[in-house]
A = this chain, B = another copy of it.
Amino acid sequence: MDLSNNTIERICKIFGHLDALEKKGVDFVSSRELAEEIGATEHTIRKDISLLGGPGYTRKGYEVRTFKKELGEKFLLTQKRNACIVGLGRLGTALLDYENFQEDGFEIVAGFDCNVNKIERIRTNIDVFPVGRLAEIVRARSIELGIIAVPAEAAQVVVDQLTEAGVKGVLNFSPVKVNVPANIVHLDMDFTNALRFIAARFIMKKNNDQK
């Protein structure tokens, strides 16, 4: 089984949507409905699902609960995973209390910052530590995911410490590309790039429409 990133991304979105449907009490969902919600075609969705090998012959679509459960098991998306946030500036503290993480199997079990005074001022239910204790805490609390919210210049150092300490994945909110060992999964979320992307797409769109 060797799924493309695009497929994985869609599967993740599907999982999220199934979760929402389950909460709403919906029992069945068709590939067409999923496609619309996910932003893809129904063919693509069916193909993705076909790659996972889950047969679901009914004339009503996929059974929400079983399908979600199946996806969750296949990708271990349901298993609780411990995460930490490094860098407790405005973004970092915002993420500390981002309630959607908790709801969805990810638990923030620690926050780190290099500024000890700041740590003492932060009000949150989550334990916060000086960054010097990062490795120790990551190991002690079985933290698998590191979320980077430090300034650009500190990002690489933090990533190195995290991977050294044994995290398996890194979500990078700092506006620089970071290098990670090949066996670590990472994803960059650069807000400025996102805005640039929107602006560039917009320009292209305008050019095309004028033709």
Contact = CB atoms under 8 A, between A and B. Distances in A.
Contact of A145 (B93, B98, B168, B199): B199
A171 interface: yes
A200 B2 contact: no
Nearest to A170: B198
Interface string A1-43: 1110100110111011100100000000000000001110000
Interface string A169-211: 1110001110000010111011111111111111111011100
Interface in A105-119: 106
Contact of A177 (B3, B37, B208): B37
B197 A16 contact: no
A204 B3 contact: yes
State how many copies of this chain the complex holds.
2
A175 B175 CA distance: 21
A91 B17 CA distance: 22
A177 B38 CA distance: 7
A18 to B, nearest CB: 12
Contact of A175 (B16, B38, B205): B16
A12 B196 contact: yes
A37 B77 CA distance: 30
Chain B CB within 10 Å, residue with most, of A39, A95, A199, A204 = A199
Given A8-B200, A169-B199, A90 B100 contact: no
Q: Which 8 A-B pairs have the closest CB atoms?
A: A90-B94, A169-B198, A12-B196, A94-B94, A75-B200, A185-B201, A91-B94, A185-B202
14 contacts: A13-B177, A16-B196, A20-B176, A83-B195, A91-B94, A93-B94, A101-B195, A106-B192, A169-B195, A169-B199, A169-B202, A171-B191, A185-B201, A187-B194
